[in-house]
Amino acid sequence: MIKIIDTYPQIETFFDNGIFNIEKWELYINSIYANSAYIFKDDLMDCLDNGDYTYEKDVLPILNAVFDNPQLETLHSSFCRITDDLNKKILDRFGCELNVDIVLYIGLCNAAGWATTVNGRDVVLLGIEKILELNWCDDSSMYGLVYHELGHIYHKQYGMFHQRSDDNARNFVWQLFTEGIAMYFEQALVNDFNYYHQNKNGWLEWCDNHYKQILSDYYSDLPTMTKSNQHYFGDWVRYRGKGDVGYYLGTKFVQQLCDRYSIEQLINMNIDDIYQEYLVFTESKS
């Protein structure tokens, strides 16, 4: 069963005259998950892995910007709308329930949304401060944050999500596939298989017009692709000036696979079979 944890009413409790107080924040986190503040604090500090960043210079200003932000209420309203009766929506569409907490809170910092585990339970964490920073406060953006992450949870709970290969190319094809599955889940819940929450300022039209180029470039990049040089996944990277292009390509990949497989079959396929399907997909569109 999905449990919605909405901490919006508690936000003012850990600000002192508009300044974020980390000690009070830890009490707030422990009120969500008992004795778990240290876990969430470690996640908050993950964004400091690069030595050029500091808590005072790079993290604290983002947290302080939450207080009195005029978009905060818009964000919260969107969250409430798209999580309303969510259990029923998923059951009606996929015939199953997800066992997961959806937590709207402050302090994720290094992402707007993240599917992970806390105390052994699957959770989707939504970082209010990062959502505000990226201005992802409208319903469409919230669909992407919540439904997309739930797509990963669905893949994990009803399929074989966690797979790795010694071949790096296979791992990046697997990422393409898993993001495509999450996008499929998102589109199915919205009931529009041409829906992309990334579609702003002509993004989808541009991707459609450059589809074959994206396909070709991804294939060409695979042999040398790494986490640090890839430019297809994440709001911090760009492919030919556009973000999130890997999600578009992954969606096209999964949509073609759905012509021959059910979604239940797809989420139970192994990484090597998906790699072979990717080669077929690339060849068919070349």
The CA distance from 184 to 70, in Å, is 33
pTM greater than the 0.95 cutoff: no
pLDDT digits (tens, 9 = 90+) for 236-277: 889 999 999 999 999 999 999 999 999 999 999 999 999 999
Tokens describing residue 117: 């585990």
- Residues 12-53 pLDDT 10s: 999 999 999 989 999 999 999 887 777 777 766 665 555 566
Instruction: Give me the mean pLDDT over the 219-239 stretch.
Output: 91
117-158 pLDDT, tens digit per residue, is 998 999 999 999 999 998 999 998 998 899 999 999 999 999
Backbone dihedral angles phi then psi of residue 230, each to the nearest 5 degrees: -70, 150
> pLDDT (tens digit, 9 = 90+) per residue, 57-116?
888 898 999 999 999 999 999 999 999 999 999 999 999 999 999 999 999 877 788 888
Q: 154-190, pLDDT tens digit by residue? A: 999 999 999 999 999 999 999 999 999 999 999 999 9
CA distance to 37, 128, 183, per residue, from 253 (Å): 40, 31, 11
Q: How confident is the model at residue 11 (pLDDT cuts 50, 70, 90)?
A: very high
pLDDT of residue 285: 75
Which candidate, 112, 126, 125, 25, places its Cα nearest to that of 67?
Answer: 25
Q: How many CB atoms within 10 Å of residue 60?
A: 14
